[in-house]
A and B are shown apart, each in its own frame.
Chain A
């Protein structure tokens, strides 16, 4: 069996850590070997953050390298572009269409690249863009963007929906379980036809 390599990329504070915890739990429940590599500390303060999740029969390095990712879950457009070199040729790239300007752009020292999603689509075949922020707003909590994205991703794996839901219940705080399940389902339904 080949390994499945998943990257979660985004901006510090967007909930990449929680996402990797949920993914890790799902992998464990599927009885695979799993390693998850996270970023703590300084980058969590609005910097570019990346988390690697690797599952398979036996995992050594916790880190995913260039051209190795099967799935990249991007919580922000520019971060999708930054980490695109890590995608395999036939990788699935799921992009939240949200834009968060980095400080060099904010202060006018750099330009936020135009047409990011179009450019990625021109180079990679399996690209899904998701209005995850709007969907999270619909749930009533913009912090559920991450779980909307998990819902989308769940459609492109063979892991049963129940396992995902259980992992969410286990990982998020009890008072936020309902809103996160709602967010997951929104993402899951949105992506129903995306990966056929």
Chain B
């Protein structure tokens, strides 16, 4: 049967067909749908872990326990999981272990543009790279065979366009994979110096064997066409190259680490001009250059951003795109915004009003950095808000902590904010951390987390109590407030920032997009009462629009959250009747 599937969905199908029984992940665009789709198969135990490090450790445990296991994450998630990855490379596996890592060239939804292949090479873990949905499924199954035959965790590297493109996939049945026996084996699984020294030897031997495998693997294939041009490529870049060059010769690499050097040499020897086309870092290209091959690649193509067939044509073939009109230039940008009804809007409105320095974090609430809220000062990585605020205090003294807050989402706090908070407790901080508890992992599309009370399947689960957690690590001042109670929230923030002790404020209000969140009727501005003072405009609500001669509320955008009437001193904002969901 043929089905149209997202790359991520096809990965999940491959996981299912490979007989996997344990899957664990932390959500992150563009990888999230892998695990969401795996969770639909009842044959596979799946979970959201608190972060990628834990997720990978659970998968390693499952593999040592004899099951085929997977973990999925975005590129920056692999940084969090790098510690277990580098040593799991030494221990190897029992049941097959495959890690799906989705890079985000062009940074559609990420804070950097790193290339997973480089981390994988550092960890000496083989890397497989599919180019479309069918390969996502097929390569996943091959990855398990490699993992078990060569005793290695295997990374399947994806990019946004592969993960988030749908293509046709031929479905097969699930393989009946028998749990392997677990046999105690400290020489393999206890990585202390004496054992690790021996395992490192095994790792090097394995990589040499994998190189041989790569030479003959069906993952790598030559498509002969016109031999005037030869293109070495992999992943989504293969699709772009095919479209740009048409019927020339291709060496399409499905296994990008270790690379098949003999195959590359043989291919190179038969073509006149050799191109290497790969997004981000010159990973394949550098290897070709080390091998002494004359190639064209990053000397003409960028290491920044996504590629396209058009870009390749422009940079390598000198073709330009004819401009058919001159009207497009007029279009102003449309950056993403906090949704109408978003709880974070109220929080940032208060923080901006109080002119605080805001150490930010990763999530929807990063959007508080944009106009008109312009509240966030820094965003580094998951959990960094807490440590960065602490560091600012230590650099600039207590006076700085009296005008600084860290803001961090509920899921992000559990992911890696809690350790930062423990640092603040232990090292005598007087800072203020605001946990933006919107009852869900928002930006990635509403996944449950340890604070929501439900598991990945939506079944009731034990709930981590944020108040008790903060108190337990030693924070004496823990306050809870709905940021939509603007006055009370402002008062609490003022007090806690001024306090000489460390405090946590839990700003509690569910995400406006959650199904159970219901607001009142749509609002409207009574133009007779409005003085155009523009206070409501400071909220940066996408529903409130300045029309020049008057300000109005767009009834198709307003959700009736009732925040703007609270900032209007003239009671000009009224209920209009009618409701948007």
- Residues of chain A having any CB pair with chain B under 8 Å: 11-13, 20, 24-25, 27-28, 33-48, 59-63, 65-67, 78-79, 81-82, 84-85, 87, 89, 98, 100-113, 119-120, 123-124, 133, 142-143
Contact = CB atoms under 8 A, between A and B. Distances in A.
In the A-B complex, list the 10 residue pairs whose CB atoms are closest, starting with the nearest. A41-B109, A41-B29, A47-B336, A110-B332, A102-B334, A62-B165, A36-B166, A65-B310, A48-B334, A82-B331
A102 B29 CA distance: 24
Interface in B375-412: none
Given A62-B167, A106-B540, 8 more contacts: A28-B2, A40-B109, A101-B542, A106-B542, A107-B540, A108-B546, A110-B333, A123-B327
Contact of A106 (B243, B322, B445, B546): B546
A85 B443 contact: no
B327 A24 contact: no
A103 B166 CA distance: 31
B167 A81 contact: no
Interface in B2-25: 2-4, 6
Interface string B208-239: 00000000000000000000000000001011
A23 B367 CA distance: 31
A195 to B, nearest CB: 21
A41 B30 contact: yes
Nearest to B33: A40
A45 B337 contact: yes
A107 B324 contact: no
Interface residues of B, number: 62
Contacts of B556: 98, 100, 133, 142
B325 A104 contact: no
Contacts of B561: none
Interface in B259-310: 308-310
A63 B327 contact: no
A78 B328 CA distance: 10
Nearest to B310: A65
Nearest to A122: B327
Most chain B CB within a 10 A radius of its CB, from A24, A84, A101: A101
Contact of B325 (A12, A13, A123): A123
Interface in B436-482: 443-445
A87 B3 CA distance: 29
B546 A24 contact: no
B580 interface: yes
Interface of B: 2-4, 6, 29-30, 32-33, 108-109, 132, 161, 164-168, 236, 238-240, 242-243, 308-310, 321-325, 327-328, 330-339, 364, 367, 370-372, 443-445, 537, 540, 542, 544-546, 554, 556-557, 580-581
Contacts of B109: 40-43
Given A85-B324, A110-B332, A111-B332, A45 B338 contact: yes
B29 A63 contact: no
A81 B542 contact: no
B324 A67 contact: yes
B84 to A, nearest CB: 26
A124 B325 CA distance: 9
